[in-house]
Amino acid sequence: MKYILHRHKKILQATRNRTQPIGFLSSQSRQPELN
């Protein structure tokens, strides 16, 4: 459980930094903020 939360947190940070492709992030969490 903690592993998933930790990974999700890293994904959120990656979203802000835009270090990872939008497609991957959008597939992980469907949020309009990605645009």
Amino acid at 19: T
The per-residue pLDDT for range 15-25, each reduced to its tens digit, is 766 655 656 65
Mean pLDDT of 5-13: 77
Q: What is the pTM of this model?
A: 0.29
Segments forming the whole domain that contains residue 14: 2-34
The tally of domains found in the chain comes to 1
Q: What band does 8 get if pLDDT is binned at 50, 70 and 90?
A: confident
User: What is the pLDDT at residue 6?
Assistant: 76
Q: Which two tokens stand for residue 27?
A: 């597939």
Mean pLDDT of 7-30: 66
Q: Which two tokens stand for residue 7?
A: 């990974």
